[in-house]
A and B are shown apart, each in its own frame.
Chain A
């Protein structure tokens, strides 16, 4: 026993009365249960009511698939009420994916041939909404018959059904093509509109139809002309424009017919000009027609004057106060900018003004258009505007804006300095939104602009000092400070105000970057490397740097840890090579960082391989080394076994760093001088690629209580040898094991003459000036043989 069912009205009232979602769900579920029961019982009288309720519930988002069969039953019934709801249900619930839909075909067929207009209308509507390909094929003849009926109501619907059929089954175009030309002669606007839609569909789908319908262009032109020139007609006028929808549709068809076809385009030219000038643009309807006209002019082979007219119309739209119109104008100008660049340039100021819009859609379009309008003559002004926009624009546009500015700067930069400035500005304002390769590009750019090194490093330092949160900026700044730190400390640079920068400040800043939680691991890597490079560029002692580096030896990030350990080893064991390794980088190829890596890797590989020939000189000591991995005295610990000189051998030594450059020289260090805690050590390197060359690094250390100042070391060798002294790392050795001074000697010994070396030292120690001259004996034989 089923409770008396609710009317649709009552159900809606109940649903509206529900205060919460849960309540609403309850009501609906209860009602659905009723509906299901009623369907099961097969009550024919109230079926349409139940289905109507079901459709309402379906619209709210609840499942309603159990009503599908009921739709069929209702359609088959003879009452109009039933049919109405049944067809509506079919439109909403059935579609191609359900097999049930084919069952309606027969009902539709019957209804179509019945001759009762409302019923036929319903059937056509349903067919045009959810007709599948099979249904369309079956019912095409019926629809075609209805196309020729006298009643405009039915013909309109039949035409629209034909449109749908063409979409689903393009082969049916042969069926529907013949009536079209005939239908164009109708006066009824509904039929005309439908016909034009049908022709549009046909032309879009088949080139043969396109050719066929080019013949009707004059007729279309005539229809449109009549529409435009007739005065006000109550029947079809919408805010002063007579049937704008039909006009728009005709214009669209003309566009399709005139594309790539000279003759048709010519026929249309006058008409388009007429429409463009005569349409009243005070209301939206007129503007809609005008917009379609502009689109058509752009697409066909129109006369030059006509195109200029189109661009001017769009320019006028841009000045309109209605935002909708400005939006469509910007969109169309974007399409035009490729083909008519100069015409659009004239409207550049207006476009740039649109950047200030608060509306997101508008500003996005304006941004795209502005970026497209940048060329070499207006680049400076445009960049200024765009940069101002970047500062104030909403976040979702920032990335596009930033990359657009960078691209445009790359293409049209008038000077390098301007280019660097622009990129710098973008990095400071929108650093987090730039693309990853911006960093690489900027470093490459700065590296290439020699004269701007001082300027760039200074500006980057200032920017970094203010804000260390923008990662790309921090990376570039760290790189520059590392490379050109000496220029930064020099203090004078013509291009910007002189700034006194202290060494300590620079180091403190880099440390801050290292420690900041905002820094990405990559940024930290940059900062650490920069610190290392500064150890050779700065005059002061390297204690602070060494401290920082040694802290990071135990960092959790593997990459940082590896770097820190390598750098620390550089300080401790290979101090003599530090200057050479940390020299200024040469300008890299366009593929910047990759070439970098390769250069580094090849350098390391060369060093690994030069280890191989060196061992021939001290086989005995090597055998001992193989057993004693921690032997540091000879510095041979990293030697790969002589039979396996490839880098793979280095991996055997787990305690060693696989990438650290192993010392090629087996020649032991020599202590040559000692006085009151001041010690002088010599270490020797014979690079294998140049057997005549000997590199000696002298290291002066101070373990006493007093500083050593004004330390100068000079050397002399026999005449057959050539000596070259390089600049020392400093001339002060602080007390108690302070940072030692290192100096590199290069000795060329092509004749392998015996090496003799005389040294002269002068320095101040304990407020006394000391001068020492002595010859170095016990020079190892390997240093000159």
Chain B
């Protein structure tokens, strides 16, 4: 089961965080710094799975952003690894070449995308375009940029 999901940049600033088990707010920052420290200290040749306390961390680095998923013992690590990549592909479709800035500014959009992508359990998996098209009507209303309004397209962008 997924315990938490983080997107943290190299400087340790959290861009997105979602916890599926209650963690105290002050403990959260501590957790995030420790997690990012262990991810940063690893080189390219080392494997993407780390054991941290009683979680297993699966991380992937995309440019300056680390996406870290904390799971418990019952998960298939490689499936989660694949899943992270799938998620990033969805974002890429939606934002057309997503970057860290997008993550910072459209923070709540990301929440929504993640929500659609994977509810409490690691799930998903509609192909990227379909997800994007499903997202747009909702995100439209709430992205500050009003040009999206009404641009609800349902045809796959593929």
Which residues in A have some Cβ–Cβ distance to B below 8 Å? 7-9, 12, 16, 48, 52, 55-56, 58-61, 63, 80-81, 84-85, 88, 95-97, 118, 125, 128-129, 153, 157, 160-161, 163-164, 189-190, 193-194, 197, 234-236, 238, 243-246, 248, 252, 284-285, 287-288, 291-292, 295, 323-328, 358-362
Alpha-carbon distance A246/B28, docked complex (angstroms): 32
Q: How far is the CB of B134 from chain A (nearest CB, A)?
A: 7
User: B76 and A326: CB pair below 8 A?
Assistant: no
Sorted from nearest, which 5 A-B pairs have the closest CB atoms? Answer: A323-B47, A288-B78, A359-B46, A160-B119, A61-B29
30 residue pairs bridging A and B, Cβ less than 8 Å apart: A9-B144, A12-B105, A16-B104, A60-B14, A61-B29, A81-B142, A84-B142, A85-B142, A88-B108, A95-B22, A118-B138, A129-B20, A129-B119, A129-B120, A157-B119, A189-B125, A189-B126, A190-B124, A236-B125, A236-B127, A245-B82, A288-B82, A323-B45, A323-B47, A324-B47, A324-B78, A327-B77, A358-B45, A358-B46, A361-B47
Alpha-carbon distance A622/B20, docked complex (angstroms): 83
When C-beta atoms are compared, the residue in chain A nearest to B20 turns out to be: A129
Which residues in B have some Cβ–Cβ distance to A below 8 Å? 14, 16-17, 20, 22, 25-26, 28-29, 42-43, 45-51, 76-79, 81-83, 86, 104-105, 107-108, 111-112, 115, 119-121, 123-127, 134, 137-138, 141-142, 144, 158
Alpha-carbon distance A197/B74, docked complex (angstroms): 13
Q: Mostly helix, strand, loop or mixed at chain A's interface?
A: helix
Known: A160-B123, A163-B121. 19 other contacts (CB 8 A): A7-B144, A8-B144, A48-B142, A61-B28, A81-B141, A128-B120, A160-B121, A197-B121, A197-B123, A244-B79, A245-B79, A245-B82, A245-B123, A324-B77, A358-B43, A359-B45, A359-B47, A361-B47, A362-B47
Alpha-carbon distance A244/B76, docked complex (angstroms): 12
Determine the chain B residues whose CB is within 8 A of the CB of A362 once the complex forms.
46-47
Alpha-carbon distance A157/B123, docked complex (angstroms): 11
User: B108 and A55: CB pair below 8 A?
Assistant: yes
Given that A118-B137, A157-B119, A359-B47 are contacting pairs, would A325 and B104 also be in contact in the complex, using a CB cutoff of 8 Å? Answer: no
Determine the chain B residues whose CB is within 8 A of the CB of A285 once the complex forms.
82
User: A292 and B76: CB pair below 8 A?
Assistant: yes
Alpha-carbon distance A81/B142, docked complex (angstroms): 6
User: A245 and B124: CB pair below 8 A?
Assistant: yes
Q: How far is the CB of A154 from chain B (nearest CB, A)?
A: 11
Alpha-carbon distance A328/B115, docked complex (angstroms): 28
Determine the chain B residues whose CB is within 8 A of the CB of A234 once the complex forms.
127, 158
Q: How far is the CB of B61 from chain A (nearest CB, A)?
A: 13
User: B47 and A327: CB pair below 8 A?
Assistant: yes
Determine the chain B residues whose CB is within 8 A of the CB of A12 once the complex forms.
104-105, 107
Determine the chain A residues whose CB is within 8 A of the CB of B29 once the complex forms.
61
Which listed residue, B82, B112, B126, touches A244 by the CB 8 Å rule?
B82
Interface centre among B78, B79, B124, B141 (most CB of A within 10 A): B78
Determine the chain B residues whose CB is within 8 A of the CB of A197 once the complex forms.
121, 123
Q: How far is the CB of A525 from chain B (nearest CB, A)?
A: 39
User: A246 and B125: CB pair below 8 A?
Assistant: yes
User: B47 and A85: CB pair below 8 A?
Assistant: no
User: B50 and A245: CB pair below 8 A?
Assistant: no
Determine the chain A residues whose CB is within 8 A of the CB of B48 once the complex forms.
323-324
Given that A61-B26, A80-B141, A236-B127 are contacting pairs, would A125 and B46 also be in contact in the complex, using a CB cutoff of 8 Å? Answer: no
User: A84 and B144: CB pair below 8 A?
Assistant: no
Determine the chain A residues whose CB is within 8 A of the CB of B112 once the complex forms.
84, 88
Which listed residue, A9, A61, A193, touches B105 by the CB 8 Å rule?
A9
Determine the chain B residues whose CB is within 8 A of the CB of A235 once the complex forms.
127
Alpha-carbon distance A285/B20, docked complex (angstroms): 25
Alpha-carbon distance A440/B71, docked complex (angstroms): 42
Determine the chain A residues whose CB is within 8 A of the CB of B108 once the complex forms.
8, 52, 55-56, 85, 88
